[in-house]
Amino acid sequence: MQTIRVIDSHTGGEPTRIIIEGGPDLGRGPLSDRLLTFRDRFDEIRSAVINEPRGSDVLVGGLLCEPSDPTCAAGIIFFNNTGYLNMCGHGTIGLMVTLAWMKKLGPGSHRIETPVGVVTATLIDDCRVSVRNVPSWRYRKAVPVNVPGHGTVTGDIAWGGNWFFLVSDHGQNLSLSRWKELSDFTLQIRAALERDGITGANGGLIDHIELFGPPSTSESNSQNFVMCPGGAYDRSPCGTGTSAKLACLAADGKLLSGATWFQESIVGSIFEGSWQPDDSTVPTGADPVIIPTITGSAWVTGECNLILQPTDPFRAGIRT
């Protein structure tokens, strides 16, 4: 029998489940290598932790790891119902609140190692966290794609720790009651991008689609709907998605360095985002590379032992 100890939290409504004990031993190499070992040798654990009957499509998991960089407080590999995430903003906020809950760290700034680089996360209080994310940039502006039943949809392709297709002109009403229609529409956009071979830099798969609309409150600048790789929509405003948005705003001269952008999610939670120029990363296109900082709140929602019994036919979760 295998026992895996987890702590659950939600960041602006989007859940995170951190494995704190009983996860696979992936060695001590760089986290990008450890992610491949996780995927190739221990994928059943990802599925057992995230998929039904122990989890659900909307969960994002994180395996807490010893960092390979001794200046980091922790390492983390994020995963979901279909695979692995390069980086996860809401998950990093959830991780910090979880580590504070465990009394592993206190208020202040801490370096966190991820498979795509080190981010700096600042615990402001028990719930509030800022994440200085990986360098982000817009790769291509105004890319058209033909979406069956919807005609040409035009969006920007940007990196914020994952690849995003960002669409503002879509004719959709962004309201939570329309989550099924919005899910269908964004999944069709994703399929059309794949069909036409439209990717991020170096063939990077665009696995997140982000729609923008007017804010529902005077406290935010815009509301979004973000479709995640496994077919569930992000309940939070999406940390990497907000980073990609900041890169586009910076490139278009619509948000000055240091100014705050309030990004509201489809459920009404808000992330604050701002950016600084990144002088150390060589741009791959014409647009500037930025360092985004995302601030949001998370709350611990549970602690439990997941039990994987040898006789359980769904020991490794239900894979769809």
Q: 228 vs 251, which CB is nearer to ligand PYC?
A: 228
Element (H, E) at 178: none
CA dihedral 52, 116, 191, 37 (to 10 degrees): -50
Q: Does 15 bind ligand PYC (CB under 6 A)?
A: no
Contacts of 312 (CB under 8 A, 6+ apart): none
Residue 127 a catalytic site member: no
Q: Is 285 within 8 Å of 123 (Cβ atoms)?
A: no
**Of 35-74, which residues contact ligand PYC (CB under 6 A)?**
60
Nearest CA among 234, 229, 241, 320 for reference residue 273 = 241
Q: By CB under 6 A, name the one of 61, 62, 89, 292 that touches ligand PYC.
A: 89
Give least dist CB 202 to ligand PYC, A. 20
Q: Does 298 bind ligand PYC (CB under 6 A)?
A: no
Element (H, E) at 186: helix 179-195
- Of 83-91, 110-118, 197-205, 256-264, the segment contacting ligand PYC by CB under 6 A is 83-91
Binding mask 107-146 for ligand PYC (x = CB under 6 A): ----------------------------------------
Q: Distance (Å, rounded) from C-alpha 135 to C-alpha 275?
A: 10
Q: Distance (Å, rounded) from C-alpha 240 to C-alpha 244?
A: 6
Q: 60 vs 209, which CB is nearer to ligand PYC?
A: 60
Give least dist CB 150 to ligand PYC, A. 24
Q: 145 vs 228, which CB is nearer to ligand PYC?
A: 228
First-residue to last-residue Cα distance in the chain: 24
Q: Is 113 within 8 Å of 67 (Cβ atoms)?
A: yes
Q: By CB under 6 A, name the one of 95, 119, 153, 238 that touches ligand PYC.
A: 238
CA 162 from centre of chain: 7
CA dihedral 35, 270, 119, 208 (to 10 degrees): 40
- Of 24-32, 61-69, 168-176, 230-238, the segment contacting ligand PYC by CB under 6 A is 230-238
Q: Does 76 bind ligand PYC (CB under 6 A)?
A: no
Q: Does 90 bind ligand PYC (CB under 6 A)?
A: yes
What are the tokens at 260?
């705050």
Residue 238 a catalytic site member: yes
Give least dist CB 175 to ligand PYC, A. 20
- Of 19-27, 40-48, 175-183, 237-245, the segment contacting ligand PYC by CB under 6 A is 237-245
Give least dist CB 78 to ligand PYC, A. 8
* Choice among 72, 88, 228, 248 that is catalytic: 88
DSSP notation for 1-49: -EEEEEEEEEETTEEEEEEEES-----SS-HHHHHHHHHHH-HHHHHHH
Q: By the criterion CB under 6 A, which residues form the site for ligand PYC?
A: 14, 60, 85, 88-90, 228, 234, 236, 238-240
Enzyme catalytic residues: 88, 238
